[in-house]
Amino acid sequence: MTGEEAVPRLPASLGLDQADPKLVEDVSAGLGQVEDLLRSVVHSDVDFVNEAATHLVRAGGKRFRPLFTLLSANVAGSVNPDVVTAAAAVELVHLATLYHDDVMDEATMRRGSASVNARWDNTIAILTGDFLFAHASGLVADLGSDAARIIAETMGQLVTGQMRETVGPVDGDDRVTHYLAVINQKTGSLIATAGRYGGMFSGAPVAHTDALHRFGDLIGTAFQISDDIIDIASPADESGKTPGTDLREGVLTLPMLYALSPEHAGEPDPRLRELLAGPVADEDVDEALTLLRKSPGLEHAIRTLNEYADRARAELVSLPEGTARDALDMLARYVVARTR
């Protein structure tokens, strides 16, 4: 980084404000190294390629996946160059999926800036995502065959989850079970790999690495469920997001699926069922939000969130006591607290 650029700090929005100061300093320094590596890896001498490839890197974001990699490395070891490389690779995979997601969702904005597909076109967005996937694979190749196999399997999970979401549940599938499987593959799988890499490349024992992998899998799914809840339950002035985004896009998230399920919420409200039959018009969003907030489906989703967070925290018991484990516990508690 140049002398004018500050070392990235831990995102204030992840509930780690009470984490150990020395841990925060070490992980923040690691994030700075990850940021440097991201920018150098995606740089291209072809100006047009460089501009498109660095578009989302420059836009920033929480960097949750590399943060989790670095925290995991501190559980039983410390951050080293291989951990930094692994953290950057995981973030590149995540960024690549965002380019592709924006094409599929026909999104026009991403992280406060015009999306690549809107600024240029779908073809450029898809090719840029592929460009980032290629560089992620190159980074992981330097970490050995096990790391390469793991990222290949993870990419397979990401794609499978996206395909399952696109096709939707088939006849006989439980819609809630299908949805949970989709978000586990689309979100949980990559976060699980971030934790696994943190353990692997810090020299943690296999048992600890496996626990970090399971924790990431569960907490990743929990984060998506909490986002689902916030989109319905939190006013815009509290969450910083416009509520009802999923409603406008016609996406049936977990609280909605529970609200429509006689098994979970009793006989669905006829008007709510009508509203959720497709994308909700702007003028009907407030009504849909009101009905969902009153529905047993929202409370059921909150209970499911708590179950995932509790299961994630249970995985921490087998890890060494210390400031990094404490920080992961804070993270799991925050996933629930952010919905209140």
pLDDT digits 0-9 by tens, 307-321: 999 999 999 999 999
Q: What is the pLDDT of residues 84-110, one digit of tens each?
A: 999 999 999 999 888 777 666 655 545
Q: Which residue has the higher pLDDT, 212 or 126?
A: 212
Mean pLDDT across the stretch 150-155? Answer: 96
Q: Is the pLDDT confidence value at 172 over 80?
A: yes
pLDDT of residue 130: 87
φ/ψ of residue 331, rounded to 5: -60, -45
Mean pLDDT across the stretch 130-143? Answer: 92
pTM, rounded to two decimals: 0.90
Mean pLDDT across the stretch 113-127? Answer: 68
pLDDT of residue 108: 54
pLDDT of residue 9: 59
Name the CATH superfamily for 19-159: Farnesyl Diphosphate Synthase (1.10.600.10)
Q: Is the pLDDT confidence value at 16 over 60?
A: yes
pLDDT of residue 5: 43
Q: In CATH, which of 1.10.3720.10, 1.10.600.10, 3.40.50.300, 3.20.20.110 is domain 205-340?
A: 1.10.600.10
Mean pLDDT across the stretch 107-123? Answer: 59
Q: Fold match between 19-159 and 205-340?
A: yes
Q: Which residue has the higher pLDDT, 131 or 303?
A: 303
* In the chain, domain spans: 19-159, 205-340
Confidence band of 294 (pLDDT split at 50, 70, 90):
very high
pLDDT of residue 268: 84
Mean pLDDT, rounded, of the chain: 87
pLDDT of residue 7: 44
Lowest mean pLDDT among 104-118, 226-240, 288-302: 104-118
Q: What is the pLDDT of residues 43-95, one digit of tens each?
A: 887 776 777 777 767 776 778 999 999 999 999 888 999 999 999 999 999 99
pLDDT of residue 34: 95
pLDDT of residue 239: 45
φ/ψ of residue 106, rounded to 5: 55, 40
pLDDT of residue 116: 59
Mean pLDDT across the stretch 229-250? Answer: 78
Q: Which residue has the higher pLDDT, 182 or 48?
A: 182
Q: What is the pLDDT of residues 190-226, one digit of tens each?
A: 999 999 999 999 999 999 999 999 999 999 999 999 9
